[in-house]
Structure 1
């Protein structure tokens, strides 16, 4: 792993170690997501530190693998361009921003549920509200990873990418736009069987865009972002 920049390498290691710790904890009947996953802010299990810790939790090997693959593939390039401090700040801030957006979306959903129950019930006999709130748990580095995809697309918009199963290369800017549109559609489609935090993904991209635009203005003339 010597060819991988320091921050990217350490992020990969931490995510893998936490995933392994999750598996070990499960054998002892301990669910780390209960403590480290991001809970709804009105739930008993919520802790402000979860806005950071949730980024290092994953729901399964596939979830971990694809996030870490994207982090390795694109994150190391951004770290080489920005340097370790700026890259780490970008990663963490966008991850926190993704969690913040997810909390807002969950609050809107919560209010919709309350309104629906109020129209048909005087109480909440279908499911206790306390239990319902604690069911809202978000895990994964996807928000930060989507910000990395956005960053790569903004720094290298015309870089051709070979994306399976497309038989032809696609420019990075179109790849990023396409992913954003898919997430936006999936988020509003609100499929009952879909447990993916699509708006957290979009939240990471939004915070990434704002931060990069701020840096471009601050570092204007440095040639930093015009590759």
Structure 2
């Protein structure tokens, strides 16, 4: 399957994140910092926070996950929404997954968040509705997509409670919910398809 926007997103995100690793000024201009939005009306941060990451492993994990699932979902959304359907979904997922934490911290100048995790999570859970038993490889270990998703959510909950970095782990959960709702609203028949697939591995 040809990957268009998926590879484009990976390249842009990888390049900008890499540059921001050694450029604190660039990082600060792109991450989601509530006062910049609330007071400065820098609404672009709801999107640009998704092209910078906390460290290389954060970037690698997100981009590998996007690579595994993005091509399939790009085709799915393009069929129903047109050529730019997947790109529109990805951008809207960045916004939707950041909103809960932004609203919770909108008056907190100490809070900032970054990373594509929310949008990637939305893609992941959209994919799981369609192919819950599809095998993927995590560090060469074969794992069914639905098991990977459970582990992904579990890690997100754990990491959010630890709050040891600037990664918006709660966005994983918000993104997952958005991916499911968006996909079901776009194609309600996926609910029946999901349950049938889940019961017949």
| Cα offsets for 1:50-92 (capped at 9, x unmatched) | 0011111122222222211111121112113332422112211
User: How far off its partner does 1:150 sit?
Assistant: 0.8
After TM superposition, the structure 1 stretch with the greater mean CA deviation from structure 2, 63-72 or 176-185, is: 176-185
TM-score under structure 2 normalisation?
0.79
Gaps of 5+ in 1: 111-132
Q: Indicate conservation of the 8 Å contact 1:39/1:46, yes or no.
A: no
Q: Which aligned segments of 4 or more residues in structure 1 are displaced greater than 4 angstroms?
A: 41-46, 223-227
* Separation in 2, partners of 1:162, 1:17: 24
Gaps of 5+ in 2: none
1:145 alignment partner in structure 2: 120
| Cα offsets for 1:117-171 (capped at 9, x unmatched) | xxxxxxxxxxxxxxxx3331211111111111111211101223343486xx443
Q: Which among 141, 147, 150 is matched to residue 174 of structure 1?
A: 147
2:75 alignment partner in structure 1: 80
* Separation in 1, partners of 2:53, 2:163: 21
Tell whether 2:181 aligns with 1:210: yes
Q: Could you say which structure has the larger radius of gyration?
A: 1
Count of residues in correspondence between the two structures: 190
CA RMSD across the alignment: 3.0
TM-score under structure 1 normalisation?
0.71
Q: How has the CA–CA distance of structure 1 residues 105 and 4 changed in structure 2, closer, same or farther, with 3 Å as cutoff? A: farther
Q: How has the CA–CA distance of structure 1 residues 15 and 186 changed in structure 2, closer, same or farther, with 3 Å as cutoff? A: closer
1:31 alignment partner in structure 2: 25
